[in-house]
Amino acid sequence: MIAVTGGAGFIGSNIVVELLRRGEEVILVDDFSTGSREVARRLEEMGAILLEGSSSRVAELDRVDAVLHLGMPSSSPMYREDPGLVGSALGEFIVLMELARRRGIRLIYASTSSIYNGNDPPHREDMPVIPTDLYTEARYFMERMAEVYHSLHGVRSIGLRLFSVYGPNERPKGRYANVVSQMIWAGLEGRRFVVFGDGSQTRDFIHVRDVVRAFMAALESDAHGVFNVGTGRETSFRDLASMISEKLPLSLEFVENPIRNYVLRTCADTSLAEEVLGFRATVDLRRGIEELIEAYRREEIVFGV
């Protein structure tokens, strides 16, 4: 049995679909702070078992072989607006680490490329980490706590430093969604999309289908540590808008950047994940954008795997 926390969310729901496709028994854990009840209902129809509540409810299960932990908010602005999220996220992660220690279960958790802020790309796992916001500190705490449990108790876990993940099923995140989805929504709704700065900032955009593959590779591995999950290619917001404009009308409005410690560039060094996990991203950005536009035009729940 595999528990997926945040299983009604964007990435988590796609992971649940893939696990069900593989014939796994899946427990979907979600408190619906950002997850979708409609998505959860669809996943239940496909065979998932819903456990409503915080990620720490996994400890109530009599039997669980692995936990894929995506059950903490994944947007920096959410932490600025509610710093209390940090405490909740850390407490729930310790519950999961204790579960891994006591029962010997496999724990795979989502970390973030925001950890690299202040470092020039390509970003490597051995670069120094200097948290500059609450969200990054919360994610980095998870990585450090995983190392403490490994050192003290031999708990083996994998943290995946996700770069800029896009794909179907992100609508419930609203204004916290990836810039790819937000640009497409603006184009479909005839709105101008606001860009901070001049649009030269870059992101390493990776499709959720590839991210799901990375989680499956981690689940099948006995490795321990943190690994980048990106494509190794960076794309500017201007170039992203140009790709989207090939398929639908999109206008941009450039404004002064109001965010301190704004991440200007991200690009993953993917060599460690390739070497240890055997993972390499395969979805082309332009093709991924075309698929996503069609999914949003249909206005229905479409999974990306």
Domain ranges of the chain: 2-166+205-230+263-282
Checking if the pLDDT of 214 tops 90, the result is yes
Annotation marks residue 116 as catalytic: no
Per-residue model confidence (pLDDT) at position 305: 55
Checking if the pLDDT of 303 tops 60, the result is yes
* Catalytic position from the list 116, 135, 149, 296: 135
User: 251 vs 276, which has greater pLDDT?
Assistant: 276
Annotation marks residue 135 as catalytic: yes
* Catalytic position from the list 79, 109, 166, 173: 173
pLDDT in tens, 166-180: 998 887 677 778 999
- Global pTM reads 0.94
Question: Which pair of tokens denotes residue 223?
Answer: 């490795």
CATH of 2-166+205-230+263-282, one of 3.40.50.720, 2.60.40.10, 3.20.10.10, 3.30.360.10: 3.40.50.720
Checking if the pLDDT of 195 tops 70, the result is yes
- Say if residues 303 and 10 touch (Cβ distance below 8 Å): no
Mean pLDDT, the chain, whole residue set: 93
